[in-house]
Amino acid sequence: MGNIVAFDLGASSGRAMLGRLVDGNIEITELHRFSNDPVQVGERLHWDILRLYHEIKQSLIIAKNQGVEVDSIGIDSWAVDFGFIGKNGELVGNPYHYRDRHTENMMEKLFADIPASEIFAKTGIQFLQFNTIFQLYALKQANSPWLQEGNRFLMIPDLLRYFLTGDMHNEFSNATTTQLFNPNTGDWDEELLAKLGLPKSWFGEVLQPGSKAGMLQASVCEELGIPSIPVYAVAEHDTGSAVAAVPATERSFAYLSCGTWSLMGTEVQEPVINELAQELNFTNEGGAYGTYRLLKNIMGLWIIQETRRVWEKAGKAYSFPELVKLAGEAAPFKSFIDPDDALFLPPGDMPGRIAQYCRQTGQQAPETDGEVVRCIMESLALKYRYVFEMTERLSGQSFSGLHMVGGGINNTLLCQWSANAIGKPVWAGPSEGSAIGNLAVQWIAQGVFSDIWEARRAIRDSFPVTEYVPQEQEQWGRAYDQFVKRTGLEK
């Protein structure tokens, strides 16, 4: 039944996935995959937004050359980052990367003007130094010309949709991550915007996932030699799309979207905004069809990716399977890190920082490459247990296991260790969760599926899910006690 395309943009790569329904089963085919490389210019780290737009257009050309008539498209990406459109309709400056250092110390400075408790009460969003609110505050502090020339604020998928259609909209799931959207009013928080000195006119109508957001404009159709195609607003924060694709059978479920970032939480109908949520630094991000994602960010596979990049520059070109093999051969539980320590946020020498962290916490630093990777992977699995238990406490639920989706599930050792750590089954699949959730929302918008639960049943029937049963419970229990002690997470 037709051909639809999901553009799924991650922090290190992007892909165009073609989706079809055949006899009720979802079939996906990768049309195009491309790297997403940040660009350092002087002191600033940018996204190459025009390169991403070029790759989206290349994907549509590939589909045309394969004889595929595309019925609709949707775009999802990472959160928090944005650009401005000027009065002349053109992009003002190349968007900053969330790992750029211009937000350092901005949380504390902003809290002197607006208390953290007030911001959380209005938005329900966890505090991370790269959140949009702190990026905008940093631009204000720097007297950025972007703020003088900008006329409309658009998140990354909003920007790319604008380039394609000429229409400017802000989508719900990504808008909530800005820490400027009030879920109680269902709109941008005008009081926060006023205190920050940001015009409300910059922030447009907020579209819900499943809304039609425009058609390919004539200039794009002429350039690519294709007819106009509807463009839908999906759950445009990639985690929102990934959660839409969780093949859960129970309405109460825990998930882990595992990739460059690990995002763990549960789906709720109303945001959980209270003192405990703020104390635990949980977030309430918008999801598909009026839901909220009560979750917590975990640094994720970024630490391994950056470690691999550093070794590659030094002449040691490990594949990811080789790194996993080295980790499996190393001795267990020799040292631990808190993956969410600020030390591991910016790019740089991760092996050196891991050694520094271990020395600072009275541990022996990993000595071999295998020990470094094992330290990262074991620490991630143990941090998953820590956040899993916090999610149960905050939501008032007890989960029977953990659904893992995303590219990280290809690391089968991490999946097994995660099950060992939480002491409950892990159900891993599908790996292309964000792209599949993107497709699902488009199909729901077209009336192919009646709702998200019918779509999830189709996803469950169409893609394999691997179950990992907990093992070595006693050893992992002791390791967890050491982990929370060494990392200072012990309460």
Q: Domain check: are 338 and 232 in the same one? A: no
**Which residues are designated catalytic?**
238
Q: Domain check: are 81 and 190 in the same one? A: yes
Q: Convert the pLDDT of each residue in 404-444 to its tens digit.
A: 999 999 999 999 999 999 999 999 999 999 999 999 999 99
Q: Convert the pLDDT of each residue in 269-316 to its tens digit.
A: 999 999 999 999 999 999 999 999 999 999 999 999 999 999 999 999
482: tokens are 């050491």
Q: How confident is the model at residue 1 (pLDDT cuts 50, 70, 90)?
A: low
Q: Domain check: are 151 and 18 in the same one? A: yes
pLDDT at position 430? 97
176: tokens are 């909530």
Domain end (from 214, 238, 262) = 238
Q: Domain check: are 219 and 279 in the same one? A: no
**Residue 279: which domain range?**
246-429+449-491
pLDDT at position 490? 85
* Residue 244, pLDDT above cutoff 80: yes
Q: Convert the pLDDT of each residue in 31-74 to its tens digit.
A: 999 999 999 999 999 999 999 999 999 999 999 999 999 999 99
Q: How confident is the model at residue 89 (pLDDT cuts 50, 70, 90)?
A: very high
3-state secondary structure of 83: strand
Helix (H) or strand (E) holding 205: none
219 in any annotated domain: yes
Q: How confident is the model at residue 198 (pLDDT cuts 50, 70, 90)?
A: very high
Q: Convert the pLDDT of each residue in 369-409 to its tens digit.
A: 999 999 999 999 999 999 999 999 999 999 999 999 999 99
Mean predicted lDDT score pLDDT of the chain: 97
Give the CATH number for residue 162: 3.30.420.40
Task: Provide mean pLDDT across the span 215-229.
Answer: 98
Report d(CA 242, CA 433) in Å as an integer: 5
Task: Provide mean pLDDT across the span 119-126.
Answer: 98
Sequence-ordered list of residues with C-beta below 8 angstroms from that of 248, at least 6 positions apart, any chain: 255, 403, 456
pLDDT at position 2? 86
- Residue 322 to residues 403, 408, 448, 460: CA-CA distances in angstroms? 25, 15, 42, 30
pLDDT at position 491? 66
Q: Domain check: are 233 and 181 in the same one? A: yes
Report d(CA 161, CA 18) in Å as an integer: 18
Report d(CA 426, CA 403) in Å as an integer: 6
What sign has the CA pseudo-torsion 122, 127, 128, 133?
A: positive
The number of folded domains in the chain is 2
Q: How confident is the model at residue 344 (pLDDT cuts 50, 70, 90)?
A: very high
pLDDT at position 353? 98
Strand bridging mode 206-207 / 170-171: parallel
0.85 cut: is pTM over it? yes
* Helix and strand element counts for the chain (H, E): 19, 22
Q: Domain check: are 293 and 215 in the same one? A: no
